[in-house]
Structure 1
């Protein structure tokens, strides 16, 4: 679903193997829950986690939070069974790990009718981002920055310079095909300043929200990826000034000493739509 009609500021990973965490998630102020059966669950616990998660989703109680399940890869012994067990339990979408090409989306699409999200965490996924985003069943991208870093052999930097080509390529593909784009996780969950800085960078790049590993990160992601009051006020003034200029037979307006054209008005309208979607979520 378009982030202008449903916000995706915060997307929290919750292990499918932990009943207490699954229950606690029902009361968290998060836009989306990524119920995880892959990295967060050890091999010997995957079958039990699948049943635990299916029961939690069937019970419901997650309100208007988006419910997305990260299954195991279809090449593993668990992937196909994950799909069979969870496709009719209340999940809104399935998140497929280790996507390399649109063929991987085809394989999952053949097993269920749910919308599909793709983990973009391999070099091939980045080079094939445009064809993956174009798939008719593809709804969202999730940046798998930890796996990408491992594949690249790059160093961790606060400015994420080694990640910029991958992040921007992913975003370009997402925007070309109307796909939601979620930034990767910030691993130091007790470092609020570092998290805020990385959220700000992700928002500046154009991501819709941030994937999170701990509930303590939710408030910062929600705040950073929501339009600020100053942005909302400016958007309203731009729309009003442009309408006034058009009524006077002029094609541009001036707000705060800056030219306002139709493209700026479209951006302003998106800002207001995003703010309204967040307010509607409550």
Structure 2
């Protein structure tokens, strides 16, 4: 029997076990859907969809002469507030890369809105200095302890050489600043262009990079979001690539068309064995809490709070599977 996720929402938001702090549950991001920030109709449409993560785009999805319009349109939607749905979802903004002239205006616009976005997505991160600079910019604009989720894009050879340092820096800053890293994204097309690779249907040319991103993401308890499937009308091909990515350990996929959302979100639901593991873990946690015990073992492993969050994630997805 599935354990109700609602039952475990009663766990205190900040519960100190072995000096590990439980943070607010991170929403699943099976489908991360880009919506051009300069198109209010498409943004309004996206808010009616059952999608885990909406990324209002200031970057690749917006022409250079439309950057300002996108910024202003996104700001107007943020001012109105995040529309409520039957379940939680991520409402974020993808800013322009730090090697452009646009990113500071993007940040200024969305971080001074009446309502902050849940998440900022930072493309083309190549060194830890970008994360440090981003953290300082956020600190200057948010005069509270409010946390902003951060999704980091790895899209070049240099980025992959520095990926561990990037994640270490983001993890460290999460303890002292307003940023909370939640996901790594594999930007496959920019990566291929950067290294001069020729794209193939099998994607063998990017296999190493694709697997490395998952490895590092999991080492830092981050979600791993897979590459875009550009043939948006080929749903069979999309499903196949989703299943391939999930077997590698990816937890979600970038989406460029609403028609891709159902396929992607179904593909990244947990298996029966994952549900059984998570259910048992959370039941064991509840028992140990009632007995006044902190740290505990489950099936031979010492359980910490990142593992607890993973179990909660599985159960929340399992409950979505039932609906």
Taking structure 1 as the reference length, what is the TM-score of the superposition?
0.82
Deviation at 1:275, TM superposition (A): 3.9
**Secondary structure, counterpart of 1:115 in structure 2:** strand
Residue in structure 1 matched with residue 259 of structure 2 by the alignment:
216
Does the 8 Å CA contact 2:252/2:268 hold for their aligned counterparts?
Answer: yes
Counterpart-to-counterpart distance in 2, 1:115 and 1:271: 17
Does the 8 Å CA contact 1:25/1:62 hold for their aligned counterparts?
Answer: no
Say which of 138, 151, 163 aligns to 1:117: 151
Counterpart-to-counterpart distance in 2, 1:262 and 1:3: 27
Instruction: For 1:43-122, list aligned pairs within 5 A.
Output: 43-63=64-84, 64-89=88-113, 90-113=116-139, 114-122=148-156
Instruction: For 1:1-282, list aligned pairs within 5 A.
Output: 5-63=26-84, 64-89=88-113, 90-113=116-139, 114-134=148-168, 135-136=170-171, 137=179, 138-228=181-271, 230-231=272-273, 235=277, 262=300, 273-278=312-317
Deviation at 1:9, TM superposition (A): 0.9
Which deviations, in whole Å up to 9, do the C-alpha atoms of 1:117-147 show, x marking residues without a partner?
2111111111111111112343321111110
Counterpart-to-counterpart distance in 1, 2:165 and 2:29: 23
Does the 8 Å CA contact 1:3/1:274 hold for their aligned counterparts?
Answer: no
RMSD after superposition: 2.9
Which deviations, in whole Å up to 9, do the C-alpha atoms of 1:162-209 show, x marking residues without a partner?
111111211121111112211111000000111001101110111110
Counterpart-to-counterpart distance in 2, 1:159 and 1:40: 26
Counterpart-to-counterpart distance in 1, 2:277 and 2:308: 7
Counterpart-to-counterpart distance in 2, 1:211 and 1:102: 23
Counterpart-to-counterpart distance in 2, 1:47 and 1:58: 16
* Range moving further from structure 2, 187-196 or 111-120: 111-120
Pair 1:82–1:271, CA change in 2 (3 A):
closer
Which deviations, in whole Å up to 9, do the C-alpha atoms of 1:21-58 show, x marking residues without a partner?
11011111110011110101111110111000110122
Does the 8 Å CA contact 2:35/2:55 hold for their aligned counterparts?
Answer: yes
Does the 8 Å CA contact 1:72/1:79 hold for their aligned counterparts?
Answer: yes
**Secondary structure, counterpart of 1:110 in structure 2:** helix
Counterpart-to-counterpart distance in 2, 1:269 and 1:78: 39
Does the 8 Å CA contact 1:227/1:274 hold for their aligned counterparts?
Answer: no
* Range moving further from structure 2, 3-12 or 99-108: 3-12
Deviation at 1:152, TM superposition (A): 2.1
- Deviating 4+ runs (over 3 angstroms): 1-5, 230-237, 260-263, 268-275, 279-282
Unaligned runs of 5+ in 2: 1-21, 140-147, 172-178, 285-297
Taking structure 2 as the reference length, what is the TM-score of the superposition?
0.73
Residue in structure 2 matched with residue 248 of structure 1 by the alignment:
none
Counterpart-to-counterpart distance in 1, 2:24 and 2:185: 14
Unaligned runs of 5+ in 1: 244-259
Counterpart-to-counterpart distance in 1, 2:224 and 2:112: 25
